Amino acid sequence: MSPHAGTGCRAQKKPVVVLAGEDRNDRRSLRIILEELRPDMRGRLVEISPPVRLREASPANLAHRVGKLANLARARAVRENAELACVFVHEDLDAADSEAYVQTRERVQKALEAELGNVHYVLAVWEMEAWLLLFPEALTALVSTWKIPAKYRARDTGRLQDPKRIMMREVTKAPRRYRESDAPDVLATAVALGCHERPAGGNRSWDRLREDIAQCCGRHLQQR
Ligand SMILES: [Zn+2]
C-alpha cells in the first residue's frame, strides 16, 4: 500500500502492464517470464480474464474483438488508478511455424496497435508447450522422471507437431504426466536455473517474446 494511502493524497502508482491470454495458465506463464526476466515488471502486471480469440477472426470480427479487449485493458488500468503502459496478449497458433505464423502475427499485431498503441501480440508456435521443450534441464529439475528424448533436442521446437502431446506422452510418464497447469512451474524453473539464456533448440515465437520484452522495457516502461 502507498505510504500516502488514507492521507488524502492521490497515490502515485506506476503505470500498469495488462496481461491477456487464452486461459489462466497462459497468463501465469507470461507473468512468470516477464517478472523473472525483468524485475522492473514486478508490481506492474495486472490481468484481464476473458479468453483471447483473435487469430481466426474475420476482419470485421477482429476489429470488434480488439476493441473489446482494449476497453477491458483500459478499464483494468482505471481500476488500479494507474496509467496503461502497454498490453501483452498471448494466443497459441495451434499450427507449426510457417510463413502463416509471420502473417497472422503481423495482422493481429497491427489491429491491436491501431487500437492500443503500446501492445505485444505473443503468438506461440505451435503452442506454449513448444517453449517448454527448449528447457530439458528445467523439466528434469522439476520432476526427475521428465526427460526430453534426444530426437526433440537441438530442434526448432516451433516446427514440431503437437508439442502438448509430446509433453504428455513422450517427455513425461505415468503416474506423473505433464498437465497444462505445470507450464508456469516449468518456466519458473527454467528462469531460476538460467536455462532461458541457453535454450536447447530454437523457436521463433520464443525469440520474438524476448525481443518484445526488451522493447517494452526500453520504450513503454522507460517513457513513463
Ligand atoms: Zn510494452
What's the chain look like in SS3? CCCCCCCCCCCCCCCEEEEECCCHHHHHHHHHHHHHHCHHHCCCEEECCCCCCCCCCCHHHHHHHHHHHHHHHHHHHHHCCCCEEEEEEEEECCCCCCHHHHHHHHHHHHHHHHHHCCEEEEEECCCCHHHHCCCHHHHHHHCCCCCCCHHHCCEEHHHCCCHHHHHHHHHCCCCCCCCHHHHHHHHHHHHHCCHHHCCCEECHHHHHHHHHHHHHHHHHCCCC
User: Once rounded to an integer, what is the mean pLDDT over residues 199-207?
Assistant: 97
Count of the separate structural domains present in the chain: 2
pLDDT of residue 214: 92
- Measure 214 CA to ligand 1 centroid, in angstroms: 9
Tens digits of per-residue pLDDT, 143-180?
999 999 999 999 999 999 999 999 999 999 999 999 99
pLDDT of residue 12: 65
- Measure 99 CA to ligand 1 centroid, in angstroms: 25
Q: Is residue 178 part of a domain?
A: yes
- Measure 3 CA to ligand 1 centroid, in angstroms: 27
Q: Is residue 75 part of a domain?
A: yes
- Measure 19 CA to ligand 1 centroid, in angstroms: 11
Strands 119-124, 201-202: parallel, antiparallel or unpaired by DSSP?
unpaired
User: Once rounded to an integer, what is the mean pLDDT over residues 75-98?
Assistant: 97
Q: Identify whether residues 166 and 187 lie together within a single domain.
A: yes
Q: Identify whether residues 96 and 24 lie together within a single domain.
A: yes
Residue-range definition of the domain harbouring residue 183: 128-202
What is the CATH classification number for the domain harbouring 20? 3.40.50
Q: Identify whether residues 112 and 27 lie together within a single domain.
A: yes
- Measure 31 CA to ligand 1 centroid, in angstroms: 13
Q: Identify whether residues 28 and 105 lie together within a single domain.
A: yes
Q: Identify whether residues 60 and 70 lie together within a single domain.
A: yes
Q: Identify whether residues 171 and 217 lie together within a single domain.
A: no
Q: Identify whether residues 38 and 103 lie together within a single domain.
A: yes
- Measure 173 CA to ligand 1 centroid, in angstroms: 38
Question: Torsions phi, psi of 89, nearest 5?
Answer: -120, 110
| Whether residue 9 has pLDDT greater than 90 | no
- Measure 74 CA to ligand 1 centroid, in angstroms: 14
Q: Where residue 24 falls among pLDDT bands split at 50, 70, 90?
A: very high
Q: Identify whether residues 147 and 62 lie together within a single domain.
A: no
Q: What is the pTM of this model?
A: 0.92
Q: Where residue 222 falls among pLDDT bands split at 50, 70, 90?
A: confident
Q: Is residue 10 part of a domain?
A: no
Percent of the chain scoring above 70 in pLDDT: 94
Q: Identify whether residues 132 and 185 lie together within a single domain.
A: yes
pLDDT of residue 83: 95
Q: Identify whether residues 29 and 103 lie together within a single domain.
A: yes
Q: Identify whether residues 27 and 99 lie together within a single domain.
A: yes
Q: Is residue 61 part of a domain?
A: yes
| Whether residue 1 has pLDDT greater than 60 | no
- Measure 168 CA to ligand 1 centroid, in angstroms: 33
